[in-house]
Amino acid sequence: FSKNNMSSKLEPTITKCGGHENWTKVTFKPDLVKFNMTHLEHDVVTLMKKRVVDLAGCLGKGVKVELNGKFLPIKSFENYVDLYLSQADNSESKTDKRPYEKVNDRWEVCVTSSDAQFQQVSFVNGIATIKGGSHVDYIANQITTHVMNIVKKKNKNAAATLKPHAVKGHLWVFVNAKIDNPAFDSQTKETLTTRQNSFGSTCELTPAFLKKVEKCVLESILAWAEFKQKKDLKKTDGTKKGKLIDVPKLDDANQAGGKNSDQCTLILTEGDSAKALAVAGISVVGQDYYGVFPLRGKLLNVREATTHQQMENKEIVNIKKILGLQEDKIYDSIKSLRYGHLMIMTDQDHDGSHIKGLLINFIHHNWPSLLKIPSFLVEFITPIVRATHKNGNVLSFYTIPEYEAWRESLSGSITGWTIKYYKGLGTSTSKEGKEYFIDLDKHKKDFVWIDEKDGDAIELAFSRKKIEARKNWLRQFEPGTYLDQREKRIKYRDFVNKELILFSRADLQRSIPSMVDGFKPGQRKILFSCFKRNFVKQAKVAQFSGYVSEHSAYHHGEQSLSSTIIGMAQDFVGSNNINLLLPVGQFGTRTMGGKDAASPRYVFTCLSPITRLLFPKEDDLLLDFLNEDGLSIEPTWYVPIIPMVLVNGCEGIGTGWSTFVPNYNPRDIIANVRRLLNDEPIQQMEPWYKGFKGTIEKTATKENGVTYTINGIIEQINETTLRITELPVRKWTDDYKTFLESMLPSAKNEDPFLMGLDHHSAINRVHFEITLSAEKMKIALDEGLLKKFKLTTTFSTSNMHLFDAKGTIQKYDTPEQILEDFYHIRLEFYGKRKKILEDNLQIELQKLDNKVRFILGVVNGEIIVNNRKRAELLLELKNKGFTPFPKKTKAVEAAIAGALLDGEEPPEDNTETAEGVRAGDYEYLLSMPIGTLTLEKVQQLVAEKDKLAEDFEELKKTTPKSLWLKDLEALDRELDAQELQQAKDDEHELAHMVGNTSRIVRKVGKNPRKNTKKTIASENTDSQTNDNSQAPTISVTTATTQNETAKPKKGGGGKKGAAKKTEVDNEEDDGLDITLRQRLAAYNSGLSAEHS
């Protein structure tokens, strides 16, 4: 024992231990006099007892703890925790109420829920840290992060409301830890301040334990989040009061909010122009009971929106304020509202239907009782088509199917009728607006609630939980479905299943391309307009977008159209493998992924020479052209000679489905098409991006798709320098530079990883050189350069959804499946094309024969042309057996649709004469110039006929497959020409690079598109590379020899082929760089096997 403030002590008493166990006994007797005490107070005794109990909990079952002669029944830290929770509800097991885990010998953790605020009971080496510290934060942060992730998955709305500190506030954490050399904030040792990396151990909570914690606390956290959301939304509630003056653009009804408010109607319009029409109409009925408020675009889908999004959405807040809606209120009448009726006034198109649906969804999600009140929600319909007869009769049609049915009832003839299409409410005049409101009952339709099936239909359309059901809903869609607007009352389920579904279908078609041509509707309209205009001369993108909008019935914004045009012309790495339009100007680069494109009014474009090779003109007459707004427009789909959806890939998100198809090599696709044509098995194709020099490695294969890893290129130059010369596809240079700069020394970066950065990249070429210390270099190498510098990304082919030829969504697991489906459709069209060509040649032969007979008849005087009535002459030609050739029906349809190019003849006059002969039947004879009615012309026509007969016999021997092969040869030659030009451009760029002192030379592998260069970056010499611009090292003699093997095949030559051969053979005369010659020669040599 010690005395006098421990300045003196007694000698210890040491006796021989007789037992088999070693032990230590410490006796403590407080010096009461020293503390001016006569006895130990109750609080002190209680505190001492608690410390004994703490000791028992921390030491565990290995040590028996006795208090006042009694052993404490606490055998573990888990038992100790139960002392705090002894008043817990016994309806559940203790394990469910307080998950416990002994992570290792140094850490024990137990967690339960806390109703008020964050609580903790913790020990460090047996010391009670009553204020917690870094060890408690270490555990609490793991739990908080896990719970936040779970909440984000299960309830996005709650996740937006919750913050980590709010989740932590619902936790009660118990921790028993052993820490090396613990540091505390004071002598009382109430708070641990040791940093986590100095604990001497780790405590990574297991997924099983976190799952138990989630079950324990999640319910209370979500309940609190829901309460918080409702409390916040209450702040946006409206009230029933008089005229509102603080809502911009609201024309409030004079009686709104007053004693007659139940008779008032609020008209919500689609935009300001629609409001102007409504205001014009209200002038007829007066503004006492009608208010108008314009919506800006589409309403928020509140079913999937967060509380914050709803509170920040001005439309939502204003509608609640205008109507006087209150959160969580159940309405059995409309007496408490500022307006008794809500009228929706939108365009009669698909987007208008979507706006109606979103508004119905808004009411149903928050106040479903309102939808059950008769006549609360109504819609105002306007005509989408008006037919006016010359006698003054006017017919209005409120749906396109209704109009088309009427037109078909007239056998397609609308002579005497003037048709006007109303693209939106803004198309109607103020006069027409007044006419609508004069006959208000005709244009007003009530929505009616029958039973819960109506609510189920609304949820089906808008709930995230109904994704699979929504897919089935769309699969069951039947073309021709529409809502009969003659009905006065509209069931909510009918609106969803017969009108809103049309929007969902259209949205899907806008987002998911066709397997046949790889296009979405906007892209197809652009190509159609290119062919119609014969778009070979450059024009500004802004001007051309106006042309497309006018000639293809494009109903969306021209800015969006211009962006699509620019996208079809882009050719940087990661965009198109084959751009169908030429980029003349700044169309964007890989620096910013195309976002650096110039304004549409500054850049020019036109058709690329390769486009008509991919989409042959001969196919135009075979296509099924659509009709919209009385205008024949683009076809259902084009039929290219290779599947463009594989060439340029696609991605999109629509209602129910999304899609992603990577790019593939056109050469590989062509080679596989040839294999199919030759009845050979096709080879597996791998993703490929033009100009990409990195690697694309297959990392996982599943039944429904393959996962690929895309690697950039990074190599170590010396002990402190790395060079990056390629980024993963669609990782843009500017973004990556920002990432590297974040690793440099700065005020915010206390521990920078990099010492320096040199940026040498060009617009379409990547080149970074970075310096770092030897220590950081070792860390990077150990972790892996690609991973450390984020030069690897992944994508999968498990989501390749496309519309098939019948317009049905199909899922494809491999690109080969897409190719095979495409092959059968394309081959069928070659058969149709062959038939059309044969028919046309027969017609031309007949025409030539008739022309010879006609000229001889005129020369011999058998046919008198001069001074006769045209009708008599036509009848004579008929009687003499001349074949009539009226206008070509298919050709005329194509001409209307714009498939005929500029300069081709318009349809002929087919007015029928009294004798049954049409005026255009013999125009091919009567339109011959007088100078051709000679014997010399007869000889010329006979020669033409003989030549045509030979062509006809040759065509009859030709198979559809051989026609396809011929088109593929022409495409191959154009790809060769493009690669030749690209090689020249690359060589020119290298020659003019700043600081370029040597030419980059790469070795040639078995296939020039396979990169066998071994660098630190690749980490796998077997992976595929996309680089098709390598510079092989071979002799000039070899280059010449190999060039000769690359000549066009028999039957595929012609002037183009000859010109190309001359161009290659005369490389020396043109001053072409020897390295370029070698590169082209080796490239052609490597491809020769695929060209065979």
Q: Provide, rounded to the nearest whole percent, the portion of the chain with pLDDT above 70.
A: 85
581: which DSSP letter?
Answer: B
**pLDDT per position as a tens digit, 461-471:** 999 889 999 99
Degrees, nearest 5: CA angle 994-998-999: 100
Q: Give a three-class secondary structure readout of 154-211.
A: HCHHHHHHCCHHHHHCCEEEEEEECCCCCCECCCCCCCECCCHHHCCCCCCCCHHHHH
Q: Are residues 477 and 594 in the same domain?
A: no
Is pLDDT at 84 greater than 80 in this prediction? yes
Which two tokens mark 699?
């990392």
Q: In this structure, are residues 1087 and 667 in contact, taking their beta carbons and an 8 Å threshold?
A: yes
* 638 in catalytic set: no
Phi and psi torsions of 652, nearest 5°: 180, 160
The domain boundary, picked from 648, 675, 704, lies at 648
**pLDDT per position as a tens digit, 591-638:** 999 999 999 999 999 999 999 999 999 999 999 998 876 688 999 999
Q: Are residues 385 and 469 in the same domain?
A: yes
What is the DSSP track for 102-141?
EEETTEEEEEEE-SSS-EEEEEETTEE-TT-BHHHHHHHH
Q: Is residue 292 part of a domain?
A: yes
Q: Are residues 242 and 361 in the same domain?
A: yes
What is the DSSP track for 1012-1033?
----TTTS-TTSEE--------
Q: What three-state secondary structure class fits 435?
A: helix
Q: In this structure, are residues 757 and 738 in contact, taking their beta carbons and an 8 Å threshold?
A: no
Q: Are residues 453 and 599 in the same domain?
A: no
**pLDDT per position as a tens digit, 111-152:** 998 876 899 999 999 899 999 999 999 999 999 999 888 888
Q: What is the predicted pLDDT for the residue at 152? A: 82
Q: In this structure, are residues 830 and 964 in contact, taking their beta carbons and an 8 Å threshold?
A: yes
- How many residues make up the chain in this entry? 1092
Q: Are residues 600 and 544 in the same domain?
A: yes
Residue type, 361: N
Residue 789 CB partners (closer than 8 Å, separation 6+)? 714, 722, 724, 740, 780
Q: Is residue 533 part of a domain?
A: yes
Q: Which of the four pLDDT bands, split at 50, 70 and 90, describes residue 885?
A: confident
Cα 28 from Cα 401, distance rounded (Å): 97
Which residues on adjacent β-strands are paired with residue 1072? none
Q: Are residues 94 and 169 in the same domain?
A: yes
The domain boundary, picked from 487, 507, 527, lies at 507
Which range is least confidently modeled, 337-346, 400-409, 433-442, 598-607?
A: 400-409
Is pLDDT at 821 greater than 90 in this prediction? yes
Q: Is residue 11 part of a domain?
A: no
Q: Is residue 711 part of a domain?
A: no
Which two tokens mark 813?
């697991």
Q: Which of 339, 602, 922, 924 is catalytic?
A: 602
Q: Are residues 975 and 1081 in the same domain?
A: yes
Q: Where are the beta strands (DSSP E) in 454-573?
A: 489-491, 539-540
Is pLDDT at 1002 greater than 50 in this prediction? no
Q: Are residues 607 and 589 in the same domain?
A: yes
Burial of 32 (0-12, 13-18, 19+ CB in 10 A): exposed
Q: Is residue 13 part of a domain?
A: no
Q: How far apart are the first and last CA of the chain?
A: 103
Q: What is the predicted pLDDT for the residue at 631? A: 80
State the average pLDDT for the chain: 83
Q: Are residues 207 and 260 in the same domain?
A: no
Cα 200 from Cα 609, distance rounded (Å): 69
Q: Which of the four pLDDT bands, split at 50, 70 and 90, describes residue 1054?
A: very low
Q: Which of the four pLDDT bands, split at 50, 70 and 90, describes residue 1064?
A: very low
Residue 691 CB partners (closer than 8 Å, separation 6+)? 572, 573, 764, 1026, 1027, 1028, 1029
Considering the entire predicted model, what is its pTM? 0.74
Q: What is the predicted pLDDT for the residue at 454? A: 95
Phi and psi torsions of 476, nearest 5°: -85, 0
Closest CA to 814 of 643, 1007, 657, 693: 643
Q: Are residues 466 and 405 in the same domain?
A: yes
Cα 1021 from Cα 1012, distance rounded (Å): 6
The domain boundary, picked from 182, 212, 236, lies at 236
Count how many domains the chain has.
5
Q: What is the predicted pLDDT for the residue at 1081? A: 40
Which range is least confidently modeled, 216-225, 404-413, 432-441, 479-488?
A: 404-413
Q: Is residue 484 part of a domain?
A: yes
CATH number of the domain where residue 115 is located: 3.30.230.10
Q: Are residues 909 and 984 in the same domain?
A: no
Q: If you average pLDDT over residues 860-870, what whole number do you get?
A: 85
**pLDDT per position as a tens digit, 301-323:** 998 888 888 888 999 999 999 99
Q: Which of the four pLDDT bands, split at 50, 70 and 90, describes residue 399?
A: confident
CATH number of the domain where residue 473 is located: 3.40.50.670
Closest CA to 765 of 708, 710, 712, 695: 712
Is pLDDT at 1076 greater than 70 in this prediction? no
Q: In this structure, are residues 691 and 658 in contact, taking their beta carbons and an 8 Å threshold?
A: no
CATH number of the domain where residue 564 is located: 3.90.199.10
Q: Is residue 6 part of a domain?
A: no
- Chain centroid to Cα 15, Å, comes to 84
State the residue range of the domain holding 853.
830-959
Q: Are residues 167 and 256 in the same domain?
A: no
Residue type, 192: L
CATH number of the domain where residue 841 is located: 1.10.268.10
Q: Is residue 930 part of a domain?
A: yes
H/E stretch holding 957 reads: helix 935-957
Is pLDDT at 834 greater than 50 in this prediction? yes
Q: 421 vs 5, which has greater pLDDT?
A: 421
Q: If you average pLDDT over residues 701-717, what whole number do you get?
A: 90
